Amino acid sequence: MALMTKEQYLQSLRELKPKVYLFGELVENPVDHPIIRPSINSVAMTYELAQDPEYVDLMTATSNLTGKKVNRFTHLHQSTDDLRKKVKMLRLLGQKTGSCFQRCVGMDAFNATYSTTFEVDEAHGTNYHENFKKYLEFVQENDLVIDGAMTDPKGNRGLAPSKQEDPDLFLRVVERREDGIVVRGAKAHQTGSINSHEHLIMPTIAMREGDEDYAVAFAIPTNAEGLYMIYGRQSCDLRKLEDGADVDLGNKEFGGQEALVVFDDVFVPNDRIFLNGEVEFAGMLVERFAGYHRQSYGGCKVGVGDVLIGAAALAAEMNGAQKASHIKDKLIEMTHLNETLYCCGIACSAEGHETKAGNYQIDLLLANICKQNVTRFPYEITRLAEDIAGGLMVTMPSEKDFKHPEIGPICEKYFKGVDSVPTEHRMRVLRLIENMTLGSAAVGYRTESMHGAGSPQAQRIMIARQGNLEHKKNLARKLARVDEESIAKREAASSVEK
């Protein structure tokens, strides 16, 4: 198959029949559920664009494993050009969906696991790398969506996994058998998990001796026995259940998705295990995945930002305020911040390097700088969009009021902007801004910008680690002539003079 169509993807999810709970009920048909479907549409766009000749160069690549054309979301980066194309692809998809399209976590997990398993095998003589290569060939051939799952519930953050009062608060191995392992626990905040065919599980933190049962990486089908998901609530999600809802939904077609993924004694066969107790490599896998995923935000958040900037500019025009100098300046600032994020994504890609395994890794320091900026700039872009939109964005009557035979004309009259723009068009743009800044699409922009791929402190820890402060101090010592060599030369010269 190699490349699935959008229709084939939707059908494959129907056949998968994952176990999903929403609002306390088991969902019989997740694919067509009105709350879940927009997030599925976002993933489907990754298949649709891969079939479009205009975007084939960005959306597809040649597999280094099979030599076949594959969706770039299943590809191992083979050059810095691949890394740059990844960022450009994510920006494109953000522009097309105005939301989170959920598939980059799998791509980032592939690349991190590929290089890490190579080095684990090198150190321990294990067979994880071959296991993973065979698994990835299977994923590429079938063009599957993979949920890269790293975040554990964590419980008491001050305690190691093995020291928790409830040992299941970090996913762990509860039984090792001749043919595989049995795992128990959960992964939280999992982006697109319900829309994925498979889950690629990784440790959530660096580990040490005593945490061997928690240092585990493996792949498992989404419909595996003992695995189920609990869908996360989003602001304004009940609007999707209203009869005839349209204008009030804002971004009606697309959305993001998060869920708690629970593993209730799930069996994993040996050929799908990629780490099993090698605690010293858990941190490497975490660091590499986090780096790739922080690079991703220099693309996806920028694409969604493009949509929000455009919506704010439209709102200004519909309000008749587009010529005001402060409006122009706010749009300039939004663009400046958005393009700065893009610069970071491209920079960490251009400065990438080859790993021992042969795939390419981004510059970790610049990737963390990228994500640190993402924890700030989208908030300011959002604030400015809300400023430009005006208070009506959050005080607007419902769509049903506009359709009411008596009060509808009153709403039309008093919520009109410039004469040339229908009131409904103005309402649609304002609802889009509301959806992107406060509603369900905000899951893929505002708050997710803060906590996705690690909270701000996680990047600051990596920046401190990667910042090479000693090198910078040595540069200053040399120019200030306080380095040991310069001091020795001056002392020697002084003795000769004496």
| Structure tokens, 189 | 């905040």
Set 258, 278, 287, 317: catalytic member? 258
What is the four-CA torsion angle of 431, 437, 443, 448, rounded to 10 degrees? 160
Residue 447 known to bind ligand: no
Return the structure tokens found at 7.
């229709």
Task: Tokens for 470, please give them.
Answer: 């000693």
Q: Give CA–CA dist 285/405, Å, rounded.
A: 60
Neighbours of 230 (CB within 10 A): 17
Whether residue 448 lies in the annotated active site: yes
Say which of 128, 228, 292, 297 is annotated catalytic.
297
Give the N- to C-terminal CA distance of the chain in Å, as an integer. Answer: 84
Residue tagged active-site, from 104, 348, 370, 411: 104
Q: Look up 124 and say whether it is catalytic.
A: no
Q: What are phi and psi of 120, to 5 degrees?
A: -65, -45
168-175 contacts: CB < 8 A, separation 24 or more? 170/204, 170/214, 171/201, 171/204, 171/214, 171/216, 171/263, 172/213, 172/214, 172/216, 173/213, 173/214, 173/216, 173/276, 173/277, 174/213, 174/265, 175/265
Map residue 385 onto helix, strand or coil.
helix
> E strands, 8-88, where?
20-22, 25-26, 60-62, 69-71
List the catalytic residue out of 191, 204, 375, 382: 191
Q: Is 104 a catalytic site residue?
A: yes
Cβ-proximal residues to 198 (8 Å cutoff; 6+ apart), any chain: 139, 144, 145, 146, 147, 219, 220, 221, 222
Residue 65 near residue 76, CB atoms below 8 Å: yes
Catalytic residue among 60, 75, 100, 360: 100
> C-alpha angle 188/89/261, rounded to 5°?
15
Among 80, 116, 189, 300, which one carries the catalytic annotation?
A: 300
DSSP alpha helices (H): ranges in 233-323? 282-319
Respond yes or no: is residue 348 known to be catalytic: no
Q: Of the listed 293, 344, 355, 445, which one is catalytic?
A: 293
Residue with tokens 């008491």: 156
Q: Tell me which residue has tokens 């510059």.
A: 363
293 as an active site residue: the answer is: yes
Q: Is 333 a known active-site residue?
A: no
Which token pair is 105? 């976590």
Q: Which residues are catalytic?
A: 100, 104, 191, 258, 293, 297, 300, 448
Residues tagged in the binding site annotation for FAD: 191
